[in-house]
Amino acid sequence: MKLRLLAGVSALVAVAGLSACSSSGSDDGDPGSGGKTAIDVWLMRDSVSDAFQKEFEKGFEAAHPDIDVRVQVQEWDGIGEKVTAALASNDAPDVIETGNTQVAQLAQSGGLLDLSDKVDELGGKDWLKGLAEPGAWDGKQYGIPYYAANRVVIYRKDLFAKAGVDASAIKTREQWIAATRKLNKGAEQGIYLPGQNWYTLAGFVWDEGGDLATKSGDTWKGTLDTPEALRGMEFYQRLQALGKGPKDSDEAQPPQAEVMAKGQVAQVVSTPGGANVVLQNNPALKGKLGFFPIPGKTAATPGAVFIGGSDLVVPTVSQHHDAAYTFIKELTGDAWQKKLAVAMSYVPNKTTLASAVSGDPGAAAMAVGAPVGHATPNTPGWAAVEAKNPIKDYMTAVLAGGDPAREAKKASEAITSAMNSGS
């Protein structure tokens, strides 16, 4: 997913008429590449830097002199339609980076190669579940986890010190509430949390053992009205009330990083990249921003988070399955994952690699929560939910004084209708 905003994925047009292929496809040399097998790779804007791309291509081709890699950087805007068209053509790239929650729609169409037989070889037992699970569809693995990002708490070190609050001591949600109340005595806002930050709500719901929707047989059902999900909303309500965030908009309206930059806001919930936006708007805060993982219900487990990020997939129509897999194996392997994480401040695709970002405060905070991260319900029908997003309306209604149980039931019914009509 697009990491800077971790935005929801737009609905993709279904691709029909594509037949599945075996992952043992043959690779013929490309005469235009001196007898090498030339593979085309689509990577998304900002997934790698120019320097990392050059380093990887040089290292990869030195290790695999029979493969010529041709990387094309794609823009996020309009990528859904572009990938759909590519999969339906006979001229698709050999490897595509796609948002982790997009894989189900692409796989359902028959447009992606089944890579289930490669999971063990790729160290799949250590993959982040929030990347691996949405990369699977109907019991088969189509998307190979590439990198991840998730929300953390960005805080003002100066305001915490002034209030006598030690961020490193905040390990539970109740400690977070207590600290935020204390911060309110000296800051304009102890926390800025807009009313429709539904990804943050989802984390609290997962903490309580609930979910946004569950599947029974072939039918999905919205579950915001369960006792577990209602407890998650109750905590969100308590935390949101400790700031002055609007009840009827999300973190982009107004941009919460700009709000933090302008005033005495002690905390926001964001991906670490939000700190860069704060500094762009207020350079005087350089050195004053810190990060800590979203706290959990108990100190033993960090708070659940929504995992955004990307998987790598191979189109069935690719003529170079073996070379494409070799590329994926290298880029998602331990050596290059460590380098990518350091270069781009991402969370590596495996829980065993978290130490690679120990020197990056923002990425290190993300890495703490990533192992308990989740993705949205793994079904093409979820795109229909995000198109209208009744979760946002539900949150605003509750924060404005509506009965939580009644509003949750309405939202759950809307989710059920959207998921099953959009499947």
**109/104 Cα distance (integer angstroms):** 9
CA torsion sign for 154, 312, 418, 75 is: positive
Q: Looking at 226-356, which runs of residues are DSSP E strands?
A: 267-270, 289-292, 308-313
Task: Give the per-residue pLDDT at 318.
Answer: 96
Task: Give the per-residue pLDDT at 34.
Answer: 65
- Return the CA Rg of the chain: 22
Q: 352-358 — which CB contacts under 8 Å span 24+ positions?
A: 352/123, 352/126
CB 91 within 8 A of CB 315: no
In the chain, what are the domains?
31-150+307-360 (3.40.190.10), 152-305+378-421 (3.40.190.10)
* 152-156 and 267-270 beta bridge pairing: antiparallel
Find all residues with CB under 8 Å of 239, minimum gap 6, and list them: 176, 177, 180, 191, 193
pTM across the whole model: 0.89
Of 306, 316, 361, 312, nearest to 333 by C-alpha is: 312
| Omega prior to 361 cis, within 30 of 0 | no
**193/176 Cα distance (integer angstroms):** 13
pLDDT tens figures, 336-392: 999 999 999 999 999 999 999 999 999 999 999 999 999 999 998 998 999 999 999
Task: Give the per-residue pLDDT at 10.
Answer: 29
**143/131 Cα distance (integer angstroms):** 8
Task: Give the per-residue pLDDT at 33.
Answer: 53
Task: Give the per-residue pLDDT at 91.
Answer: 87
| Under-70 pLDDT residues of the chain | 1-34, 422-423
